[in-house]
């Protein structure tokens, strides 16, 4: 009895639901027939069905108010009329069925208004790899000028035979580590050149002695030192763009009876392509094919940078690619986006080969950049505008920077890491976005973002010339990226829009201006013979962009653009950029999903 009673109850519930669905369907059909003027798009997709309804299914017509012309129902297809008349006309066409996907795509389901739904993507200006301040200076050779049998006369130490240029073993990297014997009997000391003229140095203290006692060559002797020493360095390293740097903390004069022997240590310093992990791929900001509005999509960006700046003597063409996806939550009011950039760019490991005389070499490689996670949310919207905000977090996923010696020689280059910068920096980048679209054709939008390096990267310079560079004596400090402000403004107009097309549904030319301003100074860390980072001063990058958005169907958008820098000097980080962006939207489609930045 229990199972019989349950079955009877379930049958009644099912019958009731079927009856309710039948009534609902009948009511919708009646509404379509009697009120087609209120739903023109539905009437157009059901012309035969509505026209063939029996007279009993239609309600009596209501006269139009005075002064108002009634809107007629769509005409019945001629084929159907001929069939009813029994004529010999062509057979009637099959009844038309609605394109439900396009009907949903065109339906305003709440949230953003229709005018905002037509706003296309902000393209962005690329955030090119490299840039002023990204490099550094690294010692690739170290030599000693030795002058013997010299005498003191006031603040000058001079006399004796012409000074000899020596290459000392790494064990004798400064005057404090020298043995008491003259360099001629220092184990491993090798003469590599001579300075023309009589040696002459400015000194502090009488008599001179120990480190920091030699200020530098005197004015009359300095040109010969610069010329002869520079040529020796060039012959040894093959790099003619280096800088000869005197190191007083390593230099000094030692007494030799009644005379003095001078030891002046010089480093040969050259530019390094980059000392900031991830900059060889580029730090990607928010305004890179992104919407400040939450949405469901997958995307792929391609950027070609011509003559991207790395140092005064190094520019390179870079190809960067960035796949990613975004997923909405909480009824579309928030989303999470993930980006994974990589590039065919300069290798994060730079090499110095002293034996080959090639200097620092920056090879090409495919490098992963720093991954980004973006949290977005809608703050406020009106009929023609929307305000959004969120936080972008850049994670340290790029390779560490290493400048590695691969040569075999007696000086600093002996198969060791010269510079090592770990990638630990996390960037917190809050942002706000605003859209204004007074109609379904014209649009303008802006993004404001602040980029803050929260913790910097630990950096090591191999001052001690140890096999393992990560020693306490080689630790140089944390190298931080400056705080930046990014401001982008975009405007455009849909010159073609047809949401019912099965192919091309929209064309919109677009123009943008991007302003990137450093707010804090660049970090520079100096160690004996090393400089990590450079300070180009206040950096102001202004880049202009022109492009076109091509919308295909209800889900796809292809964007083609060209970016041109408007500044010069350190405010010009590349000579031009070509951008190709693709977006594919997934999930339920409506007008809201078409909104792109």
Which pLDDT score is estimated for 150?
87
Question: 133 and 272 in contact (C-beta within 8 Å)?
Answer: no
The residues with which 445 forms a beta bridge, in sequence order, are: 435, 490
d(CA 429, CA 421): 22
Q: What radius of gyration do the chain's Cα atoms show?
A: 37
Q: Higher pLDDT residue, 410 or 361?
A: 361
Query: 30-34, 334-338, 361-365: which has the highest mean pLDDT?
Result: 334-338
Query: 62-76, 312-326, 524-538: which has the highest mean pLDDT?
Result: 312-326
SS3 377: strand
What H or E segment, with its residue span, contains residue 115?
Answer: helix 114-117
Taking the complete model, does pTM exceed 0.75, yes or no? no
* CA neighbor of 281 nearest in space, from 247, 258, 305: 305
d(CA 164, CA 142): 14
d(CA 352, CA 364): 15
Tokens 């560490």, residue?
A: 400
Share of the chain above pLDDT 70, in %: 71
Q: Higher pLDDT residue, 249 or 469?
A: 469
Which pLDDT score is estimated for 466?
78
Tokens of 377: 């949310």
Question: 394 and 275 in contact (C-beta within 8 Å)?
Answer: no
9-18, 221-230, 376-385: least confidently modelled range: 9-18
d(CA 368, CA 220): 52
Q: What value does the mean pLDDT take over residues 36-63?
A: 43
Residue 18, φ and ψ in degrees, nearest 5: -60, -40
pLDDT digits (tens, 9 = 90+) for 280-303: 898 899 999 988 888 889 999 999
Which pLDDT score is estimated for 550?
94
pLDDT digits (tens, 9 = 90+) for 318-361: 999 999 999 999 888 899 999 999 999 988 888 766 554 555 66
d(CA 263, CA 492): 68
Count other C-beta atoms under 10 Å from residue 335's C-beta. 22
pLDDT digits (tens, 9 = 90+) for 475-515: 989 999 999 999 999 999 999 988 888 889 999 999 999 99
- Give 433's pLDDT tier (boundaries 50, 70, 90): very high
Paired sense of beta strands 530-532 and 136-153, if any: antiparallel
Q: Higher pLDDT residue, 147 or 75?
A: 147
Would you say the C-alpha torsion 226, 229, 232, 236 has a positive or negative sign? negative
Q: What value does the mean pLDDT take over residues 580-591?
A: 76
**pLDDT surpasses 50 at 4:** no
d(CA 390, CA 377): 6
Question: 432 and 389 in contact (C-beta within 8 Å)?
Answer: yes
pLDDT digits (tens, 9 = 90+) for 110-135: 444 445 556 777 888 877 777 766 77
Which pLDDT score is estimated for 63?
54
Question: 288 and 447 in contact (C-beta within 8 Å)?
Answer: no
pLDDT digits (tens, 9 = 90+) for 190-235: 888 999 999 999 888 766 666 678 888 999 999 999 999 999 888 8
**pLDDT surpasses 50 at 108:** no
Which pLDDT score is estimated for 573?
87
Average pLDDT, the chain: 77
**pLDDT surpasses 80 at 84:** no
Full 3-state SS string of 418-481: EEEECCCCCEEEEEEEEEECCCCCEEEEEEEEEEEECCCEEEEECCCCCCCCCCHHHEEEEECC
Query: 172-176, 335-339, 417-421: which has the highest mean pLDDT?
Result: 335-339
Please give the full DSSP string across 43-97, using - where no structure is assigned: HHH-HHHHHTS-GGGSPPP-PPPTT-PPPPPPPPPHHHHHHHHT-SSPPPPPPP-
Tokens of 106: 């065109």
Which pLDDT score is estimated for 107?
46
d(CA 126, CA 564): 10
d(CA 132, CA 130): 7
d(CA 437, CA 434): 10
Which pLDDT score is estimated for 97?
52
- Give 590's pLDDT tier (boundaries 50, 70, 90): very low
Which pLDDT score is estimated for 152?
86
- Give 415's pLDDT tier (boundaries 50, 70, 90): low
d(CA 78, CA 89): 9
Query: 171-185, 361-375, 508-522: which has the highest mean pLDDT?
Result: 508-522
Q: Higher pLDDT residue, 89 or 159?
A: 159
Tokens 């019958």, residue?
A: 15
Would you say the C-alpha torsion 166, 172, 176, 181 has a positive or negative sign? negative
DSSP 155: T
- Give 595's pLDDT tier (boundaries 50, 70, 90): very low
- Give 597's pLDDT tier (boundaries 50, 70, 90): very low
């Amino acid at each position: 009895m229990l199972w019989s009673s349950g079955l009877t109850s379930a049958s009644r519930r099912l019958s009731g639901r079927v009856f309710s669905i039948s009534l609902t369907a009948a009511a919708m059909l009646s509404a379509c027939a009697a009120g087609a003027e209120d739903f023109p798009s539905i009437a157009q997709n059901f012309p035969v069905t509505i026209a063939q309804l029996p007279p009993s299914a239609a309600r009596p017509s209501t006269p139009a108010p005075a002064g108002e012309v009634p809107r007629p129902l769509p005409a019945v297809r001629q084929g159907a009329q001929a069939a009813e008349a029994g004529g010999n006309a062509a057979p009637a066409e099959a009844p038309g069925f609605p394109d439900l996907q396009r009907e949903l795509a065109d339906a305003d389901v709440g949230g953003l208004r229709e005018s905002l739904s037509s706003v296309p993507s902000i393209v962005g200006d690329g955030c090119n790899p490299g840039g002023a301040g990204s490099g550094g200076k690294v010692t690739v050779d170290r030599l000693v000028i030795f002058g013997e049998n010299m005498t003191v006369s006031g603040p000058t130490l001079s006399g004796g035979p012409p000074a000899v240029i020596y290459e000392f073993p790494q064990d004798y990297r400064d005057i404090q580590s020298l043995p008491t014997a003259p360099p001629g009997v220092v184990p491993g000391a090798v003469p590599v050149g001579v300075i023309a003229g009589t040696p002459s140095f400015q000194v502090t203290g009488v008599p001179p002695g120990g480190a920091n006692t030699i200020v530098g060559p005197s004015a009359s002797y300095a040109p010969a030192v610069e010329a002869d020493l520079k040529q020796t360095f060039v012959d040894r390293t093959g790099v003619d763009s280096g800088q000869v740097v005197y190191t007083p903390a390593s230099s000094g004069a030692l007494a030799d009876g009644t005379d003095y022997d001078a030891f002046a240590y010089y480093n040969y310093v050259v530019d390094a392509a980059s000392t900031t992990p991830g900059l060889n791929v580029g730090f990607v900001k928010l305004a890179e094919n992104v919407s400040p509005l939450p949405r469901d999509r997958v995307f792929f960006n391609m950027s070609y940078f011509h003559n991207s700046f790395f140092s005064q003597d190094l520019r390179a063409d870079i190809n960067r690619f960035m796949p990613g996806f975004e997923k909405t939550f909480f009824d579309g009011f928030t989303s999470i986006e993930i980006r994974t950039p990589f590039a065919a760019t300069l290798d994060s490991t730079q090499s110095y080969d002293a034996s080959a005389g090639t200097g620092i070499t920056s090879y090409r490689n495919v490098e992963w950049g720093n991954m980004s996670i973006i949290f977005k949310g809608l703050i406020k919207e009106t009929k023609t505008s929307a305000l959004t905000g969120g936080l972008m977090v850049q994670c340290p996923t790029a390779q560490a920077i290493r400048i590695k010696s691969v040569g075999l020689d007696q000086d600093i280059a002996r198969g060791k890491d010269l510079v090592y910068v770990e990638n630990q920096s996390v960037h917190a980048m809050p942002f706000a976005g605003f859209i204004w679209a007074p109609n379904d054709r014209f649009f303008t939008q802006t993004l404001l973002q602040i980029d803050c390096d929260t913790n910097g990267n630990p950096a090591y310079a191999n001052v001690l010339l140890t096999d393992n560079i990560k020693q306490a004596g080689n630790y140089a400090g944390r190298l931080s990226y400056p705080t930046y402000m990014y401001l982008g403004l975009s405007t455009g107009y849909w010159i073609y829009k047809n949401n019912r097309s099965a192919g091309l549904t929209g064309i919109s030319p677009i123009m943008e201006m991007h302003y990137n301003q450093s707010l804090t100074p660049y970090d520079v860390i100096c160690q004996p013979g090393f400089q990590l980072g450079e300070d180009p001063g206040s950096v102001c990058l202004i880049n202009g962009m022109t492009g076109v958005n091509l919308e295909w169907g209800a889900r796809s958008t292809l964007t083609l653009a060209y970016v041109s820098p408007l500044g010069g000097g350190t405010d010009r980080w590349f000579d031009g950029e070509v951008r190709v962006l693709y977006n594919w939207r997934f999930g339920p489609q409506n007008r809201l999903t078409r909104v792109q930045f």
